[in-house]
Structure 1
Amino acid sequence: MDIADPEVEQQPRTDSPVFVGSDRYRIQSTLGAGGMGIVYLAEDLKLHRQVAIKKLKDNTASQNARDRIQQEARLLAQLNHPNIVALHDVLEDQGDIALVMEYIEGTTLRPWMRERSPSLQQKLSLLMQICQGLSEAHNLGIIHRDLKSDNILIAENAKGEPVAKITDFGIAKSQQLDEKTLTAENQLAGTITAMSPEQILGKPLDARSDLFSFGTIAFELLCGSRPFEKHEAGALAMANRITNEAHTPPQEAWPDIPEPLAILLDKLLAKDPAQRPQNALVVYQGFALLHKQGLESESEDFTATMTDLFTHHKIKNRRRWQRVVAGMAVTLIVSAGGYWGWKEFTRLEPQYIAVMPVEINGEIRGEENAKALTRTMVRQALMNSVSQLKASALVSFTPKEGQDFEAQLQKLKDKGVTDALYAKLVCAQVRCEIELQRLAPINSQIKKKENFTFLTDKLQEAHYRTSNSTALLFPSTYQKEKLELTVMSDRDYSLYLDILSRMEAKKLNQTDLAKLISMSSRYPQNIYIYNGLSNVAARLFILDGNSTHLEIALDALNQGEKLGVEIKTLNSLKLFIYGLGGYSKQFQNLIAKVDNTDFPVAEILSERARNSYRNGKYESALDFAKQASALNPSADNLYLIALSNAISGNYHLAHAALKKLIDKYPDHWSSYSALANIEMEIGDLDSAEKTITSIPEELRGWRTKSNLGVIYFLQKKYSKALESYSKVLELVPTNIPTIGNLAETYLMLDNNDKAQENFNQLLTITQGRDDLESRLYQAIALAYLGKASDSISLIHTLVRESPDDVDVNYNAAQIYALAGEWSSANHYMEQLLKQGMGPEWFSLPAFQKLCAQPQVSIKVKSSICD
């Protein structure tokens, strides 16, 4: 087996005048030579331009070699792309053939890498260009078969930017041509280090073989070394390594490699073609997304920015309004069963599916709420059907009251929804004719529909049939297995539907979760119940902040796992619950398990954004949110971007984005809460109050009520502030920030006894806790309880750990003011005012004491003193 040398050494230049097949071209020098061919630099005397002429060496001009160069000519004639070296002419002379090609003034990729220190931006740009050239070839059915660094030429455009050009299609193969081999018997054409495992093994090839070769190029360009280092025992040993041994992990070659790049390299270098991306366009889109995010980053060091995306940061810029974070969850209470299927991002185009309101005409005999229960059954069945589809995610949708059908579809189109599910029922007493439709919001067309009849006293059977029939509206490539009926008693099923119906109407009570937990013990294999209890627990948690609801739901899910319920289903529900509560460690462990499984990429990115936000990693949260929005520009993902911008201090961007979101989605209440907190932070208190009171009273969770109390406090409406805080403490009696706010309000009312009582309560609650919030309020409580030394020692530690955290600096200023250390207090206050904190925040007596101190700067006095 004759294997070509992967390192072709360039021949010395020669200026001897040589003619090849035509007097139009004059040879100027030799550019390079390989085992059979030689490439000359020549002048096109007719068009006055330089060209490259490739011809066979005289001593190797066999028929096989001639076949190869003729094959290359045929293939190049089909290709016209800026990232592929162009063919200008074909010369023939007494049976010999030469190709006249575009001359690229530059070098090949490997020496270019050695001689330059390209940024990650430039590297990604080159890889994107190679992908585009490959995509053009593959679309024409052409497989290169010898893609390597030496066959990538690098030139510069008019702007001085590097441009990649694919060359040497000498052993390329057209899938439209016969399977005639262009190599001699027992020869393996190509360079061993650039070959895919299937090419080495002589198996049939498709475009994914080139993607493996491209993976070796990308690995070397990004990581600085090859994924398969040369084997000392020779080519056969190298071939064995490529086919049977794992490539060097990207993280080993480049420890700081951003996670998405490492994942993409691993996919490209998979042994099995089925595990690689399906085409070059998909790979291009992956690199393009990373390239775009880097270009939009404020960091000058792109590499650091991308690495920062997946590394831990110190908590900073948490802001007092961080308590809005749980409001993020309000918009997430869609069926958690929608967090499903996407085998790999390269397999199927993602589907983002929304369920439209169910239309029922006619009357249904039975209980007073028979029609409402039937509507809930159909709606739940439509949502459950998404769990039976690959590459699909459920998108939350509740239309505005009075909105007509076409306006609803337009809203779904705006949300990035690809498919809408609609059910229309015509019922007469105990029979209902149902028509299921799969609609395309982009053009309002019906893609497919299905009809059947069901009996209203057999709703459970109808539930499963509706779910399975809806899944059949989608192509078979997206369909998973049918759901099997798990029968509940009629009484339990009616209760189940009633609870879900009240959840959608936001009328849950505290006993509903217990009822569903009880059902899960009676029907442990009924996945619908696990979906329902997860959603109910989440809704109750948002309303009262009691994490016990989440713990109860997690216990039920863990019990289901022990009883053999499908693990993928349970993991999706656990991920949903972990994302709501303080389960950072559990979330990270689970996300690592599901990252490469059946979860939609956009949903994983959204969950990562929320988790990063809750843990103070705001830059990561912003980057994850941008990636999620690029895949699915839903209201929730756009909200995540705005929220991350706001908490990082980019108020202008966040304010504009939230206003736009509210105009587009007037019922997106989380946006109102976030907007109110920005307005509060910049001192526009009247607007903040108006915005937050626009949220219906029944939809305000305890955090929203607490933030309204802060607005009243800053407006000096202390009685209203006390009223708001008291309502919060009725729901969450030991909420640390609210108790602290309550104490500060009593200070403003000169009720020092009540304030001291609250500070003592804070000290008790925070004792022994090591999270940032607890230690922060412990420090302020110590200061007000006369333990200045302990307080200063603790706040000094917190400032050292989180020097950019606004809450830490604010409490440091207050603590130093209480201790009479005016210079230190002045330092932190100047810093906060410079960052844009409004003077309203410094109305507490401790701050006002600075007005009489000579050490305090004019800037501070002019800002906070009357």
Structure 2
Amino acid sequence: MIDPSLHTDSLVADRYRVIKRIGQGGMGQVFLAQDEQLDRPVAIKQLRGDEDNAKALHRFQREAKFLAKLNHPCIVQVYDYVTEENGGSLIMEYIDGVDLARKLREEATSMAQRLQWLYQIMAGLACAHASGILHRDLKPENILVSRNGNAKLTDFGIAREQQQNTELTQAVIGSYAYMSPEQIADEPLDFKSDLFSFGIVAYSVLLEQHPFGATGNTLKLLQNISTGPLNQDALENSKLPDELKSLLQNLLAKDKTARPDSSQQVCEQLAYICQEYPLSETLEGGMETAELPPLTLFTRHTAQALPLPKPRKRHWLTVTATLLIAVAAGVWFTGQGSAPGLIPQAVAVLPPRFSTDGELADSDQRLVGGTLYQAAQQSVVQLPGTEAIPRFEVDSQTGEPFQILTALAAKELIVTDVFCNLTWCDISINRLAPAAQGQRLKVLASANFRTTVDRYAMLAERVHLHINQLYDYKSDVQLDLPDENEYRVFAEQYQQYYSAGANTSQLDALDTLSTKTKAWASVQILYREIALDLYHDTGNDQALTRLEQFLPAKNRTDTEAQLLNQFALARSQKDFAQARHWLERLEQQGLDHSALMELEGLLALSESNYPVAIDNFRQSAQLRPSVHNYFRLSMASWLNGDIEPARDYISRAHQLNPADHKTNRFRGVIALWEGRLDEAHEALSQALESERSAIVLNNLGVVLLLQGDYNGSKKQLQDALKIAPGDEQTLFNLADAHKLNGELKTAQGLYTQVAEQTATFNDAYSLRLNAQALAHLGQYSEAIAAYQQARELDPDSGDTHYTGALVYALAGEKISARLSTQAALKSGMGEAWFALPWFSEVCDEQQVDCLAL
């Protein structure tokens, strides 16, 4: 039986040493303890085992089950569940902090900080919903805020899986002040009930009052939530941005069909609002709020992808060098190079495959899998004559191993199979290559071994030794790994980064390592990848500053890995002369030719020297004709204005892997630009299956508009605006759809909004959009002036020529419109763009075919 008098120094499950009690309730208590096996603090949530708690124990056990399914930085992680005859203890991640309700009571917090907490809460909720789990008791008391300022969801004790219909689904449970109307009415619940509860939390956090009135009278409050009006006055009188006010109103709709479609959608809107409106304020009493650190966006996790922050200026058809650089940023190859004249053999390490019959907890499985993958990848890197294909390339491919090998243009694969019970794992590492005939693989060499579950440094060492055996390689270099505790810190941050994306807490954890461990190449590479991701996601230079401080001083940069890190840092800092210096050092050090070509191409791309980038990427594609290399070559060609080669290269990438979403997205962009609408529709629809982003929805909306499906176009564009509210290009395209559908008043309103939003910007993109909107509003002089400014900044762009054609056509200046039309067509723009009604008089006057060049 669980000991009801658990006290300091008690030992739970022969492993968890109690330090002190940190909470107590009617059914149990919570303790801070130390996990003596893994040397980490944990929280023990203990439920008293008596008859009164029988049903609660059932829910308690289910909470352990639910939390075990969830792995997200915004959800408190469960480590273990200890069950005995009449009770149970849940062993959980210890959060050194307080609940959100207390945080708001005791501390002055900025509006920006509150917005970040709301984003993080919704990110955790989105992960739970993606796993089929409803929370059903969302309230500030069930949200913990750690000392580093991150919010985490906890207390899934009354949660349930949506597909289950247990007796608990029929009971009105939860916290009255945060219930949804359907929860109060004892109706079946779905994820939109959690969205309503989140709406109450968000309203309360942002406006410091309940959206449906005072909470002193429970019955009155329940009635107000069910049928009473929302407190619109407080909302309208607040200084919140309109997008946020609209989101709160939608979340708090009585009719759940009027609420947002999903938690993912809400998460994307909050990400946009946090980036678009970095709110600052002065609190009552004149106290200034502290500067808020960069928004932590969790962009990768196992259940559901979360949005990247959206830049303010974005064009549905303009592909910038920044996008390409971000796609190609991962440079993980380091090693001993190849003999002169030899081409390194490309080897891809696939993520480990775990047996479904294993007993290992998900959290431990992820750590074991991450250690296996990283150790195998780094071992291949160090083999002479091999090139380890970066993980970001491998992760983007799907299908059977032979299909992945073909898409990566790899010569060999490393495939790992794992079976684990609670204490040990059997591991099989196989080296595979194409068989002589057919689409089959053969085993070149295989290694099998057993290891204990929680010795990660030892596991990495054994992987390294067995990979060397697979290649019959005997290294003269002694493997020098960190000790077990420090290696675990590295392994945890590696796993978190690849499952949840970059966040500053990962850098904080790596900063705690010893000087010796910080000097380990794998730690420095991981720190570099996290820091650069944070920089590209947030635009905050602090991530680059931290990376520069973490890496060795420039005069102590000697190894290939260190030189690669410094090159990546200098390129991100736009210090191209310094990047060139590191590139020369790498060449002197003997970095193989194919790796040098890739780095030359990336540097040329950063410098907007597209011909040099194309030349290097073309050579890379000749050496390794992979999806990634063809995609990168296509993008560089497009940026250089070489439309036909860009189309050819993206077609080759598509043939290698027809399901690759980034290939389909860009294939759709090129086809749309050239007016091949059916192909654009097919490619973008396929991309949408894997990537429901504003950019894809926007492009698909334009395709439908040009095809004459105005209602279908409006639907896609409206969906895009849900993800990126207020985006000028999407609003303009939607205005076109309304105008073509005869809804002139709505179109005029949208054109006016676009004109006003772009009026104060002087970049070519904004000027083009401003000119087109003004022309549709009949303000021709102002439209022509904006177009001429855009032409001065970007005279050769097809976008600029098209803008001129549209502005002059609407203004009735047909000769100028015809000249601009012909210039746009020469740039590669398709005839379909000029089938819109506003070009009809230009093309038909005196039987002149303006589309004939």
**TM-score when normalising by structure 2:** 0.51
Q: CA distance change for structure 1 residues 699 and 589 in 2, over 3 Å: closer, same or farther?
A: farther
Counterpart in the other structure of 2:460: 463
Displacement of 1:428 in angstroms is: 4.7
- Aligned counterpart, 2:752: 756
Alignment of 1:590 onto 2:590: no
Gap change, CA 1:328 and 1:834, over 3 Å in 2? closer
Match of 2:317 in 1: 321
Larger radius of gyration: 1
CA contact (8 A) 2:548 2:569 kept: no
Quick one: which amino acid aligns to residue 454 of structure 2? D
The question of whether the paired residues in 2 share the 8 Å contact of 1:424 and 1:435 is answered with yes
Residue type of the partner of 1:355?
Answer: V
Structure 2: distance between partners of 1:786 and 1:673: 35
Instruction: From 491, 508, 511, give the equivalent of 1:518.
Output: 508
Match of 2:662?
A: 670
- Shift of the alpha carbon at 1:562? 6.0
Please state how far the C-alpha of 1:780 moved relative to its aligned partner.
4.7
Aligned to 1:422: 415
In 1, Cα distance between equivalents of 2:491 and 2:470? 27
Q: Bigger relative contact order, structure 1 or 2, given CA contacts below 8 A and separation 6+?
A: 1
Q: Trace 1:272-283 onto structure 2 (pairs within 5 A).
A: none
Note the alpha carbon deviations across 1:21-52, whole angstroms, 9 max, x for none: xxxxxxxxxxxxxxxxxxxxxxxxxxxxxxxx
Equivalent residue, structure 2, for 1:661: 653
What secondary structure does 1:829 align onto?
helix
Matched, 1:346 2:340: yes
Give the aligned residue type for 1:805.
S
2:473 counterpart of 1:484: no
Please point out which of 541, 553, 557 is paired with 2:547: 557
1:454 equivalent to 2:451? Answer yes
**Is the contact made by 2:728 and 2:757 (CA closer than 8 Å) also made in structure 1?**
no
1:56 maps to: none
Q: Does 1:412 align with 2:405?
A: yes
Tell whether the 8 Å contact from 2:371 to 2:460 is kept in structure 1 after alignment. Answer: yes
Q: Is the 8 A contact 1:388 1:482 kept in 2?
A: no
After TM superposition, give the deviation of residue 629 of structure 1 in Å. Answer: 1.5
Alignment check: 8 A CA contact 1:550 1:577 kept: no
1:354 positional shift:
0.5
Shift of 1:594: 1.9
Q: Aligned in 2, Cα 1:412/1:565: closer, same or farther, shift over 3 Å?
A: same
- Which of 797, 801, 819 is equivalent to 1:805? 797
* Residue 360 of structure 2 is aligned to residue 371 of structure 1: no
Q: 2:691 aligns with which of 684, 691, 699?
A: 699
Change (3 A) 1:539 1:485: same
Unaligned runs of 5+ in 1: 1-317, 503-507
Match of 2:537 among 547, 568, 576: 547
Q: Which residue of 1 aligns with 2:27?
A: none
Partner residue, 1:829: 821
Structure 2 CA distance for partners of 1:615 and 1:400, relative to 1, 3 Å = closer
Q: Take 1:739 and 1:551, find their aligned partners in 2: how far apart are those partners?
A: 31
Mapped to 2, the partners of 1:464 and 1:785 lie a distance apart of 69
Contact kept in structure 2, 1:389 and 1:480, CA below 8 Å: no
Q: Per-residue displacement from partner, 1:806-845 (whole Å, max 9, x unpaired)?
A: 1121122233335543321211112334555334323566
In the other structure, the counterpart of 1:505 is: none
Contact 2:704 2:710 in 1 (8 A): yes
Aligned-residue offset at 1:548: 0.5
Q: Distance in 1 between matches of 2:569 and 2:665?
A: 22
Quote the Cα distance in structure 2 between the aligned partners of 1:736 and 1:577: 33
Deviation at 1:655, TM superposition (A): 4.4
Q: Distance in 2 between matches of 1:332 and 1:812?
A: 34
Q: Write out per-residue CA displacement over residues 352-379 of structure 1, whole angstroms, 9 at most, x where no aligned residue.
A: 2211342445966553443343223211
- Please say which of residues 366-375 and 621-630 is displaced more in the overlay: 366-375
TM-score, normalised on structure 1?
Answer: 0.50
The verdict on how the C-alpha distance between 1:467 and 1:730 changes in structure 2, with shifts beyond 3 A counting, is farther
State the number of aligned residues: 520
Amino acid aligned to 1:388: Q
Query: In the alignment, is residue 816 of structure 1 matched against residue 805 of structure 2?
Result: no
Cα distance in 1 for residues equivalent to 2:567 and 2:716? 32
Q: Structure 1 residues 366, 668: closer, same or farther in 2, change over 3 A?
A: closer
Write the mapping of 1:286-297 to structure 2, written as runs, cut at 5 A: none
Query: Separation in 2 of the partners of 1:604 and 1:371?
Result: 37
Amino acid in structure 2 at the alignment position of 1:417: A
| 8 Å Cα contact 2:798/2:823 also seen in 1 | no
Q: Secondary structure at the match of 2:658?
A: coil
Alpha-carbon separation, structure 2, partners of 1:631 and 1:821: 52
CA contact (8 A) 2:456 2:484 kept: no
Q: CA RMSD in A?
A: 4.6
Summarize deviations over 1:223-248 as a string: whole Å, max 9, x none: xxxxxxxxxxxxxxxxxxxxxxxxxx
Is this contact kept in 2: 1:759–1:784, CA < 8 A?
no
Contact 1:639 1:661 in 2 (8 A): yes
SS state at 2:503 partner = helix
Determine whether 1:712 maps to 2:709.
Answer: no
Matched residues in 1 for 2:432 and 2:819: separation?
A: 61
After TM superposition, give the deviation of residue 761 of structure 1 in Å: 0.8
- 1:177-216 equivalent positions in 2, closer than 5 A: none
Listed one character per residue, the Cα deviations across residues 623-672 of structure 1 (whole Å, up to 9, x for unaligned) are 22211122322222223344455666766655455444333323322221
Q: Which residue of 2 aligns with 1:66?
A: none
Superimposed CA distance per residue, residues 562-603 of structure 1 (whole angstroms, 9 cap, x where no aligned partner): 688987546645766888xxx593456424522450655434
Please say if residues 324 and 673 of structure 1, whose CA atoms lie closer than 8 Å, have aligned partners that are also in contact: no
For the residues of structure 2 that align with 1:833 and 1:620, how far apart are their CA atoms? 26
